[in-house]
Amino acid sequence: MGYRVAIVGATGEVGRTFLKVLEERNFPVDDLLLFASERSEGTRLTFKGKEYEVKALNKQPSFKGIDLALFSAGSGVSREYAPKFAENGAVVVDNSSAWRMDPEVPLIVPEVNPEDIKMFKNKGIIANPNCSTIQMVVVLKPIYDEAGVRRVVVATYQSVSGAGAKAIRELEEQTKAWCSGGEIPEARYIPKRIAFNVVPHIDVFMEEGYTKEELKMLNETRKIMHDDSIKVSATCVRVPVLYSHSEAVHVETRSEISPERAREVLSKAPGVVVIDDPSKGEYPLAIDVQGRDEVFVGRIRKDLAFEPGLAMWVVADNIRKGAATNAVQIAELLVKEGLV
């Protein structure tokens, strides 16, 4: 049985990756509809050897007959159009922040809280978590089940692809200019110059002095893990890397867990790959993880500040597991459970 699938924001970095992941995982697509803004209207994209024309979302008179809609547009677009797709019978998996904290919308990471999937019936919408949250909770869940989690201190090192294709080009242009001795273009898509720099500013600053990105890691983790007692203090930093986010994660557990036991537990966890032998120079790297769908963890050690606690290095491809792959995994879960 195949499904009529729509992709909203099809020409963006995540939208194009939706197509790759759907094809690679052989998702049962019977018919495919591609939507984007008017400026992308007429663009042709290939899926399984066949070309499809992108249509302007705002020109569509109806969204009837669609089984599944994967959204990779901004929050404003999602708030306006996701309910329209849902009202016409589609299940919407939304990659924006628009619906994540809505109590009637499930926030799903299939390796962590698949049981929440049935909640989508309230509004017909399922939210995909923030990229930095996804990779962290995939690793936290096995630790949580083994020893509990009291608090997390995390510093992220997030690639420019998290800010979109224009940010990727900005890093490339600034780097080329620096290497050639030319004038470095001004920052437009990252708040400060990103070439040969790190920028502790992702999304907007809130009253508490944290950015919205940092507070997402707190609020989304609590919702996904069903535990409002977990404390998360995050510092989110943009780094001059094209793809894959890295995170230094420090966890205070509720009971003792040794690094050896943590490695054992994590090595058996779904979606997790342990690469952890620093004596041989073995630990996850952003350039090695690019294009992969798993979450990689290494440098697992006893934390010297939290007692009991662990320190870990967590890396994942933010466009794939942090966005497109997680959404397609949600779609697969819907099919498995007979919900679409």
Assign 3-state DSSP to the chain and report helix, strand, coil percentages, each to 5: 35, 25, 40
For residue 128, give the DSSP letter: P
**Dist. CA 12–CA 75, nearest whole Å:** 14
Q: What is the 3-state secondary structure (H, E, C) of 73-95?
A: CCHHHHHHHHHHHHHCCCEEEEC
Catalytic residue, from 179, 201, 236, 245: name it.
Answer: 245
Residue 238 φ then ψ, to 5°: -90, 130
Active-site annotation holds for 236: no
Cβ atoms within 10 A of the Cβ of 29, count?
18
* CA dist., res. 326 & res. 125, Å (int): 15
Q: What b-and-e string marks burial along 132-167, b requiring 16 or more CB atoms within 10 Å of the CB?
A: bbbbbbbbbbbbbebbbbbebbbebbbbbbbbeeeb
Q: Tokens at residue 268, please?
A: 């058996």
Q: Determine the distance from the C-alpha atom of residue 306 to the mean position of all C-alpha atoms in its chain, rounded to a whole number.
A: 28
Q: How far, in Å, CA of 246 to CA of 136, rounded?
A: 10
112 class by beta-carbon count within 10 Å (0-12 exposed, 13-18 middle, 19+ buried): buried
Element (H, E) at 127: strand 125-127
Distance between CA atoms of 43 and 333, rounded to whole angstroms? 30
How far is it, in rounded angstroms, from Cα 329 to Cα 271? 11
Is 226 one of the catalytic residues?
Answer: no
- Which pair of structure tokens corresponds to residue 15? 């939208």
The CB-side HSE value for 137 (13 A sphere, CA atoms) comes to 32
CA atoms within 13 Å, Cβ hemisphere of 46? 3
Instruction: Please report, as a single letter, which amino acid is at residue 195.
Output: A
Known catalytic residues?
Answer: 131, 245
